[in-house]
């Protein structure tokens, strides 16, 4: 599995839409994400694992804790990941559970967690758990296996 592009919005310290373009790096290379304490490095890993499996990279943060505190109540929280695996290109979008402003009126409502996985224009899985199962089949790794092999401290 090769990440191509990661987009986060309202996610952890990334209140505004933030895009990480992994295609800018040389093919076959390792990625080093560095920065000072509190700069958002772990949240990039959390976003990758959350997009794929609906969990966080270390398993200590709960998905309900992923919404940025400084984001406006009417802004969404989501992660989108484009990746390739075995010659196929996929896109996964996942939303955690969070409280948002209602589409009508001024009350607050709960946004339920949701996910969708596409290959090209075709939706191949939808729903939080269904997407996680499909990702496991495509990549060939469970969430724990992915964390152990792809996320090296």
Q: DSSP letters of 44-62?
A: HHHHHHHHHHSS-SSS-S-
pTM of the model: 0.89
Decide: 37 and 103 in contact? Cβ < 8 Å.
Answer: no
Decide: 96 and 113 in contact? Cβ < 8 Å.
Answer: yes
pLDDT digits (tens, 9 = 90+) for 110-153: 999 999 999 999 999 999 999 999 999 999 999 999 988 876 65
**Alpha-carbon 94 to chain mean position:** 6
pLDDT digits (tens, 9 = 90+) for 62-116: 766 788 888 988 899 999 999 999 999 999 999 999 998 888 888 999 999 999 9
Q: Up-side HSE of residue 126: CA atoms within 13 Å toward CB? A: 2
Residue with tokens 């309202």: 10
Q: Check residue 66 and give its pLDDT.
A: 86
Decide: 65 and 102 in contact? Cβ < 8 Å.
Answer: no
Please tell me whether residue 76 adopts helix, strand or coil conformation. coil
Alpha helices in the chain (DSSP H): 41-53, 128-139, 143-150
Nearest to 52 by CA among 122, 121, 147: 147
CB atoms within 10 A of CB 121: 6
Instruction: List residues bridging with 102 in a β-sheet.
Output: none
């Amino acid at each position: 599995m090769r990440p191509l592009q990661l987009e986060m919005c309202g996610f952890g310290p990334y209140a505004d839409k933030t895009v990480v373009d992994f295609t800018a790096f040389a093919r076959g290379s390792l990625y080093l994400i560095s920065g000072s304490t509190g700069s958002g490095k772990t949240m990039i890993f959390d976003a990758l694992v959350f997009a794929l499996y609906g969990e966080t990279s270390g398993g200590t943060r709960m998905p309900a804790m992923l919404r940025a505190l400084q984001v406006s109540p009417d802004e969404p929280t989501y992660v989108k990941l484009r990746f390739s695996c075995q010659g196929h290109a996929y896109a996964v979008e996942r939303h955690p559970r969070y409280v948002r402003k209602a589409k009508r009126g001024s009350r607050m409502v709960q946004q339920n967690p949701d996910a969708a996985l596409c290959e090209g224009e075709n939706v191949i899985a939808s729903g939080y758990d269904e997407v996680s199962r499909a990702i496991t089949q495509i990549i060939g790794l469970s969430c724990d296996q992915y964390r152990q092999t792809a996320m090296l401290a």
